[in-house]
Structure 1
């Protein structure tokens, strides 16, 4: 968690993050694509995430409300088993890797998170969930690279992994030149309440 004081407003979202070894596996598979399409604006591997609810620009006063609200769904939800699979693009501009695994559970988690955020009185644009991991964006003068890069990911199937934490993330997008940077405002471990009720640790199936 970042201990720096919050700015008066910040752009925030709620997300999941694949574990490092799953991200490293995809990054290795992308090495030829990195070399072939160097003009794409590639996201940093450490910033890869699966957005559950994008809240946009919010006043810093929303952060304590979100912290209180989001601890509950993380504690009450068991970990999800997911994986990275294939690739695609949105409007020839945004390159993504797809999500496989417990998609029903993922959609339910996103719905619960969004319901709790709305119950706090925080307004946001409630877009349909399309689970994906954003990898890169094209430049305005390069509409071809993203679809070609997506085609190169068609056969990728990553190892399955288990979600560890629910993340409240802030970004610097729209705050001057330079690459987008993300930082955890706070993160909560999944299944704490489930584990307490069961009297033991969560285990892999």
Structure 2
């Protein structure tokens, strides 16, 4: 994990070259944004930055480490938040996180599973934990952030509304409950609010739990 935490973006050995870890990651991000994570390879990135594949190995052991650096660069740092209104702060945190995943859809895959974690990702977690009010145990605070982050991830990967409408229009009789819900939306509105609806319910639950302990 040293490559994620080093102060300098230089290579691990040999003479200094006109290349940096950030430049490598940025080139890989451009590829992934356009074509997906599967299109990223050490060979492809080397060609993009104008160096040989072997030159990249002086900076990174392989693709998994490259993806970790890409995620660090892609996530950046969370927004400034005030702990005065913890619900507003966590809403801003969530909106900023979903913006990251919308801008870099590959980050969903890159942030899953057992992998190296860098300072930017931990800074996001630190920021969310720091604004939670008193009344939750350490485990509950960590779980609360995980649930909120899960809400963000779930909404990013859900099927598009246009695809749902196309499918249900052709098969309305087979799915009467879905058809009824969509018909109600057509009359009363309120569609495309799943992200904030779910987030508000999570925050309501946390507030109720905290209040009953005071």
- Under a length normalisation based on structure 2, what TM-score does the superposition of the two structures give? 0.25
More helix by share: 2
Structure whose alpha-carbon radius of gyration is higher: 2
- Under a length normalisation based on structure 1, what TM-score does the superposition of the two structures give? 0.25
Which protein has greater RCO, CA pairs closer than 8 Å, 6+ apart?
1
More strand by share: 1
